[in-house]
Chains A and B, each alone.
Chain A
């Protein structure tokens, strides 16, 4: 006992809180058999022994009892929650829950909303400087165009863009330049998989300037769909555009995969999520004119 104490004390201090250092009068091994805790989980033990079947779909829930809102109602609430916030920093977000497999392919695309959410995107285009492509990219709104200069800058650690696309001809040069180590972790490295290696640079840049990306994660697709200052009508067109593209995307996936839209939720930076029922407004909604003004 006398030897054990100094050995044990520092260990227990490391592992658990020091309050649990045993006092010498703890009745060891005496009343252990009576120390079981009586609660419901203990009774269920024998059934737990059977190995649980792993599910390969996400748990779905019934929306019958859920409160659902029309778009105007949801915006009415959201605008109240966002009162006094900076209208340019708070955004409307959509969350779309899909019925899908856990390990299946995911929806992933980019689209250009009718009313752009983010307008100050800096785009870098990698193509031979001075070529026709470069001029085209500049005209479309790219902020950085070039090859070697950009590589040099990136290697120095100066990354002054939010998106990076690459012309097909320059891909080899890009891969040799060794910037993947810097761009990769930031998700900026152009690759065929993300659709950022293209031949028609001009159109891609143009799409990107007002465009935003979405992808499915854990059965949910999230995307910012509007600024807080948008009117209900603007929001309606944006939401419609988003849902249409999403449905088209899902339709394009192979026949064996079934994906269905389960729930559509609208929220914003400071508000709770409102499940939408697909209607624009109902009889009791406030007039849309009221929601169109400044915050």
Chain B
């Protein structure tokens, strides 16, 4: 089993899933989120993957009942989109008429309906194009479109985060120090070994 100290440290760092970018709560009408992007970052899918790895856990933690689906394909020219489904689609569409057919993601959305199966029969309320987008941009767009509330870290949590950061910095310094010491020792041993070896060869 992994050592207890290691595990507990990791659990302490669990804080990252509670606070930080992505700690948002969606309004009630958001019923599902679906992402689709390539398994490879080539072709502008990097931001999408980063978003999934770093921010989706926070979103899922804050919205545990919200189904989040991800499908990854092999085609680098394939769709790279994030779709938000809502229960009251008509109301949402009326509220944000511009976002249902955003100009940049029009062709991406069309591609999605063509070659991939949309999971639910109704069309998504919002579609965000993820191609060439940074993960922070994706999050900003998502918040703007759905009107999600962003949770701020409390003072204690900030303090704890700072503590963890400081700890990490210190451990990096220690690591360098120890490595230097170890390397010096190895060098010495090596020199000694060579000296002895040479002496044997000389006699």
Q: Is the CB of A83 within 8 A of B195?
A: no
Contact with B along A26-58 (1 / 0, CB 8 A): 101100100101010000000000000000000
From A22, A39, A84, contact of B69 by CB (8 A): A84
Query: Count the B residues whose beta carbon is within 8 Å of the partner chain — how many?
Result: 38
The verdict on B121 contacting chain A, using a C-beta distance below 8 Å, is: no
Whole-angstrom distance between the alpha carbons of A97 and B64 in the complex? 30
Q: Is the CB of A291 within 8 A of B2?
A: no
From A83, A219, A291, contact of B68 by CB (8 A): A83
The verdict on A253 contacting chain B, using a C-beta distance below 8 Å, is: no
The verdict on B94 contacting chain A, using a C-beta distance below 8 Å, is: no
Within 8 A of B (CB), among A76-104: 76-77, 79-81, 83-85, 95, 97
Query: B51-59, B104-112, B137-145, B155-163: which lies at the A interface?
Result: B51-59
* Smallest Cβ-Cβ distance to A87: which chain B residue: B69
The verdict on B188 contacting chain A, using a C-beta distance below 8 Å, is: yes
Query: Count the A residues whose beta carbon is within 8 Å of the partner chain — how many?
Result: 47
From A20, A29, A66, A286, contact of B190 by CB (8 A): A20
A-B contact count (CB 8 A): 100
Whole-angstrom distance between the alpha carbons of A220 and B3 in the complex? 12
Contact with A along B167-194 (1 / 0, CB 8 A): 0000000000000010011011011101
From B11, B57, B194, contact of A274 by CB (8 A): B11
Whole-angstrom distance between the alpha carbons of A29 and B202 in the complex? 14
Known contacts A80-B57, A80-B60; A29 and B195 CB within 8 A of each other: yes
Q: Is the CB of B65 within 8 A of A4?
A: no
Whole-angstrom distance between the alpha carbons of A65 and B4 in the complex? 10
Within 8 A of B (CB), among A1-33: 1, 3-4, 7-8, 11-12, 16, 20, 22, 26, 28-29, 32
Q: Is the CB of A37 within 8 A of B181?
A: yes
Q: Is the CB of B14 within 8 A of A37?
A: no
Chain B: residues with CB nearer than 8 A to chain A?
Answer: 1-2, 4, 7-8, 10-12, 14, 17, 35, 52, 56-61, 64-65, 67-70, 181, 184-185, 187-188, 190-192, 194-195, 197-198, 201-202
Chain A: residues with CB nearer than 8 A to chain B?
Answer: 1, 3-4, 7-8, 11-12, 16, 20, 22, 26, 28-29, 32, 35, 37, 39, 61, 63, 65-67, 76-77, 79-81, 83-85, 95, 97, 218-220, 265, 272-275, 286, 289-291, 293-295
Between-chain CB contacts (< 8 Å), 12 pairs:
A8-B201, A20-B194, A26-B194, A29-B195, A35-B188, A67-B12, A83-B56, A83-B70, A272-B14, A275-B7, A291-B64, A295-B67
Apart from the given pairs A4-B202, A80-B17, A290-B64, 11 other A-B contacts in the complex at a CB distance below 8 Å: A8-B197, A12-B194, A22-B194, A22-B195, A26-B195, A61-B4, A67-B12, A77-B14, A85-B70, A97-B1, A272-B11
